[in-house]
């Protein structure tokens, strides 16, 4: 499937009924998983040439980044994450 077709599919799915509704999640995860998940979110929202990222509103990317920050804070991993980033 070509990039323009993927953009159309993603745009169609993301603008479907109920996609803007807020969903409350309550789950438990290890700190290891939270640290890995936040890194996946960071990499996923900064990669270039991704049809999904190119088709979504920039505000949604900001929300993902805020969610990432919230995960790190709730897991008390913000300081560790910053220290790891300083090593790279």
First to last CA, the chain: 36
pLDDT digits (tens, 9 = 90+) for 45-65: 888 877 778 777 888 899 999
Read off the pTM.
0.80
User: For residue 5, what are its two tokens?
Assistant: 């077709």
pLDDT at 2 over 90: no
- Mean pLDDT over 74-81 rounds to 96
Residues 54 and 9 sit within 8 Å (Cβ to Cβ): no
Spell out the residues 6+ positions from residue 52 whose beta carbon is closer than 8 angstroms to its own: 6, 10
**Domains in the chain: boundaries:** 3-87
Q: What angle do CA 23, 25, 38 make, to 5 degrees?
A: 105
Would you state the pLDDT for residue 76? 97
């Amino acid at each position: 499937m070509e990039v323009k077709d993927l953009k159309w599919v993603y745009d169609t799915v993301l603008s479907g009924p109920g996609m803007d509704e807020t969903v409350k999640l309550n789950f438990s995860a290890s700190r290891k998983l939270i640290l890995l998940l936040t890194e996946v979110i960071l990499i996923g929202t900064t990669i270039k040439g991704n049809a999904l990222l190119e088709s979504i509103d920039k505000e949604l990317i900001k929300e993902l980044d805020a969610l990432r920050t919230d995960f790190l804070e709730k897991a008390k991993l913000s300081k560790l994450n910053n220290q790891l980033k300083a090593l790279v």
